[in-house]
A and B are shown apart, each in its own frame.
Chain A
Amino acid sequence: MEEQRIILLSCGQFDRAFLRQVALAVGKEYNTAVITEECHLDLNPFYNPNRRQYDGDRLLRQIPLCTTLPYTRLIGLFRVDLYIPILTYIFGQAILGKSDAIASVFRLRNELYGLKQDEELLLSRTVKEVIHELGHTFGLIHCQNQACVMRSSTYVEEIDLKSSSLCGVCREKLDQEGK
């Protein structure tokens, strides 16, 4: 794979240690250093009062304007609840083969489902979601392998079932994409 420069754009005033751990895990999976950058984006224009959620499509288009650093892949990490017009919610969003992606921790928190707060589980879910969305930017589609991080997850328990790594098939595709 060609040399990558991945930026993890913090769009929700995340704890630095949390961001560092996410960046490390993501960098390890894609075998590259991941740079974290703080972003002070005003989210109000992206809020939809009817849905009480934030427009994922527009945020995906907005984040490239929030960094001045050069990059090959950029992922914006949010705290707020994201949606796209056709779906009631999204964990994250990327366009296949394009450089930008977004993800949110909103629906990854145990508290949302009436369960006990679990920061370790939140970190694990966030890592998987970020690696998954970045996978799409590298041209990877959803994988049928139960353990592969590229397996589609439409509810949070499904994220817990998969690992944070690419399976052999996806890894091979990733290497081929980079050639």
Chain B
Amino acid sequence: MADKISILIVDDEDSVRDSLLNWFIEDGYEVEAAENAKRALQLLEKRDFNIILADIKMPGMDGLELQRRIKALNSETIVIIMTAFASVETAVQALKDGAYDYVTKPFDPDDLSHLIRNAGAQIRLRQENEALKTRVTTLDDVDDIIGKSEAIRKLLEQIESVAQSNSSVIITGESGTGKELVARAIHANSQRRYFPLVSVHCGALTESLLESELFGHEKGAFTGATFNRKGRFEMADGGTIFLDEIATVSPKMQIELLRVLETKSFHRVGGNKEITSDFRVICATNRDLETMVRNGTFREDLYYRLNVVNITIPPLRERTDDIPLLVNHFINKYCTSMSRDLITIEPAAMKQLEKFEFPGNVRELENMIERAIVIGNGKEIRLKDLPMGKEAPDSSVESLEELEKKHIEQILAKYEWNVSRSARALHVDRVTLYNKIRKYGLKQKE
């Protein structure tokens, strides 16, 4: 949940470190101190600090160099440079390098208090801003669950009841049914809604990338790990983590996941420090996990840990009543986002949509409407703006054979039944063409 502001004091003078340490502890901050830059960097390898107060002149690495290294590790850390000797040049350099402020020792207690309070306010604003952005996105998405069918009504009831608990959830459904949308709705209706919802598409990442993505990594943990990075479990502290395509996770990662779900604690890749995080887990899959458990490709213990609540989203073909509502919703959504006047849909087009099977479910319908708005006349969506509208004239062609017969007929007509030229155009030899003519019983029209 919301953290205390953490401060690291870096100064080679004992009295300065002790005074500041005492001052900040009395103010209720979480404080640590380091006697030099090297020690500070060692501490920073183990954990992050919100604010770092660093002396500019220290034996070994100076405050400016330390600041550069801190910013390379985490650009959001607020660095305040302290000095006993005010110098405009160093102050300018510190600020150019990204210092939050520059203060001269000794400080006026009021100035120090204000400085830290303002820095703390900036940190909290940034954290709130991130949480609100996530929340706005989440709430927008919740409105996207459209439908009045019995299936959707039941789904919304399930979401509402599940949201109140802290239980793990598995969302199942065909591709494009809106599994992530349901996860967002659960999060947005839960008590965790003011904290982040962090999504991870497990299927898109290799085992090692997924490990680093979920648990984070320490600088130098592997080639390319040039800075410390928080993992998704850490980012989801207080909120919800959504693991999409959970069925694609490797056996090794399944063990890791099970351990994290049981203890809510983990180590970053290459790190020694145990990190704890308070998160709720929601998973999604379009595969049958029960069968995978029986086949031995998905761990049974992990399955039972995740499958406390199961929500199944019906495919669009089982709730065709919702298609008109969804169509109007997507017309509204895309006309608004493209800054166009609201358009309508011709009845024939709507009828075709209601008959269509939609193997790609709501996502396919959404893409169809978006495309139709882009290529259409700007007044209404016509049947010919939809993919099934284009196929309509060829609806008599039912098989590959009939298509082949029709195509050969067209080519023969084009070359006035000159078999040699027709065979060349069809990229077959004359014998093959004669066989096809015989097979399909084609005759030159008089």
On whether the beta carbons of B108 and A85 are closer than 8 Å, the reply is no
Cα separation A135 to B138 with both chains bound (whole Å): 45
> Nearest Cβ in chain B — how far from A164, in angstroms?
18
- Contacts A96-B26, A142-B26 hold; do A85 and B109 have CB atoms under 8 A apart? no
On whether the beta carbons of B25 and A96 are closer than 8 Å, the reply is yes
Q: How many A-B residue contacts, CB cutoff 8 Å?
A: 57
Select one of A83, A94, A96, A152 contacting B106, CB under 8 A. Answer: A83
- Contacts A86-B20, A96-B22, A141-B28 hold; do A57 and B15 have CB atoms under 8 A apart? yes
> Nearest Cβ in chain A — how far from B394, in angstroms?
74
Select one of B13, B28, B106 contacting A87, CB under 8 A. Answer: B106
Name the residue on A nearest B114 (C-beta): A154
- Contacts A57-B15, A57-B19, A152-B113 hold; do A86 and B26 have CB atoms under 8 A apart? no
B27 located at the interface, meaning its Cβ lies under 8 Å from any Cβ of chain A in the complex: yes
On whether the beta carbons of B16 and A95 are closer than 8 Å, the reply is no
Name the residue on B nearest A53 (C-beta): B106
The CB with the most chain B CB atoms within 10 A, among A85, A94, A96, is that of A85
Contacts of B225 in A (CB 8 A): none
Contacts of B28 in A (CB 8 A): 141-142
B110 located at the interface, meaning its Cβ lies under 8 Å from any Cβ of chain A in the complex: yes
On whether the beta carbons of B105 and A142 are closer than 8 Å, the reply is no
State how many residues of chain B have any CB contact under 8 Å with chain A. 20
The CB with the most chain B CB atoms within 10 A, among A86, A94, A136, is that of A86
On whether the beta carbons of A88 and B16 are closer than 8 Å, the reply is no
B434 located at the interface, meaning its Cβ lies under 8 Å from any Cβ of chain A in the complex: no
Contacts of B16 in A (CB 8 A): 85-86
Contacts of A154 in B (CB 8 A): 108-110, 112-113
Name the residue on B nearest A97 (C-beta): B25
- Contacts A57-B19, A152-B113, A154-B113 hold; do A88 and B106 have CB atoms under 8 A apart? yes
- B1-39 interface bits toward A, Cβ cutoff 8 Å, 1 = contact, 0 = none: 000000000000101101110110111100000000000
Contacts of B19 in A (CB 8 A): 57, 84-87
Task: List A124-176 residues whose CB lies under 8 Å from chain B.
Answer: 136, 141-142, 152, 154-155
On whether the beta carbons of A87 and B108 are closer than 8 Å, the reply is yes
B85 located at the interface, meaning its Cβ lies under 8 Å from any Cβ of chain A in the complex: no
Contacts of B106 in A (CB 8 A): 83, 85-88
A90 located at the interface, meaning its Cβ lies under 8 Å from any Cβ of chain B in the complex: yes
Contacts of B22 in A (CB 8 A): 93, 95-96
Contacts of B20 in A (CB 8 A): 86
Task: List A76-92 residues whose CB lies under 8 Å from chain B.
Answer: 83-90
> Nearest Cβ in chain A — how far from B220, in angstroms?
34
Task: List B175-216 residues whose CB lies under 8 Å from chain A.
Answer: none
Select one of A86, A94, A96, A136 contacting B15, CB under 8 A. Answer: A86
On whether the beta carbons of A89 and B26 are closer than 8 Å, the reply is no
B107 located at the interface, meaning its Cβ lies under 8 Å from any Cβ of chain A in the complex: yes
- Contacts A84-B19, A87-B19, A154-B113 hold; do A141 and B25 have CB atoms under 8 A apart? yes
Contacts of A84 in B (CB 8 A): 15, 19
On whether the beta carbons of A89 and B109 are closer than 8 Å, the reply is yes
> Nearest Cβ in chain A — how far from B139, in angstroms?
30
> Nearest Cβ in chain B — how far from A112, in angstroms?
15
Select one of A83, A85, A87, A141 contacting B26, CB under 8 A. Answer: A141
Contacts of B15 in A (CB 8 A): 57, 84-86
> Nearest Cβ in chain B — how far from A154, in angstroms?
4
- B105-128 interface bits toward A, Cβ cutoff 8 Å, 1 = contact, 0 = none: 111111011000000000000000
- Contacts A57-B15, A141-B26, A141-B28 hold; do A86 and B110 have CB atoms under 8 A apart? no
The CB with the most chain B CB atoms within 10 A, among A89, A95, A152, is that of A152
Contacts of B23 in A (CB 8 A): 86-87
- B27-68 interface bits toward A, Cβ cutoff 8 Å, 1 = contact, 0 = none: 110000000000000000000000000000000000000000
Cα separation A85 to B13 with both chains bound (whole Å): 10
- Contacts A57-B19, A95-B22, A96-B22 hold; do A87 and B27 have CB atoms under 8 A apart? no
On whether the beta carbons of A88 and B26 are closer than 8 Å, the reply is no
Contacts of A57 in B (CB 8 A): 15, 18-19
Contacts of A96 in B (CB 8 A): 22, 25-26
Cα separation A74 to B400 with both chains bound (whole Å): 99
> Nearest Cβ in chain B — how far from A63, in angstroms?
16
Name the residue on A nearest B11 (C-beta): A86
Cα separation A95 to B18 with both chains bound (whole Å): 10
On whether the beta carbons of A86 and B25 are closer than 8 Å, the reply is no
Cα separation A94 to B22 with both chains bound (whole Å): 8
Contacts of B27 in A (CB 8 A): 141-142, 152
> Nearest Cβ in chain A — how far from B222, in angstroms?
41
Name the residue on A nearest B113 (C-beta): A154
Select one of B13, B18, B109, B113 contacting A88, CB under 8 A. Answer: B109
Name the residue on B nearest A93 (C-beta): B22
On whether the beta carbons of B110 and A155 are closer than 8 Å, the reply is yes
The CB with the most chain A CB atoms within 10 A, among B20, B26, B105, B106, is that of B26
Cα separation A57 to B107 with both chains bound (whole Å): 16
On whether the beta carbons of B113 and A86 are closer than 8 Å, the reply is no
Contacts of A141 in B (CB 8 A): 25-28
Contacts of A136 in B (CB 8 A): 26
**7 more CB-based (< 8 A) A-B contacts, given A141-B27, A154-B113:** A57-B18, A84-B15, A86-B107, A87-B112, A88-B107, A142-B28, A154-B108
Q: List 9 A-B contacts (CB under 8 A).
A: A57-B15, A57-B18, A83-B106, A85-B15, A87-B19, A89-B108, A136-B26, A152-B26, A154-B113
- The 4 tightest CB contacts between A and B, nearest first, are A154-B110, A154-B109, A86-B19, A141-B28
Binding site for B on A (CB under 8 A): 57, 83-90, 93-96, 136, 141-142, 152, 154-155
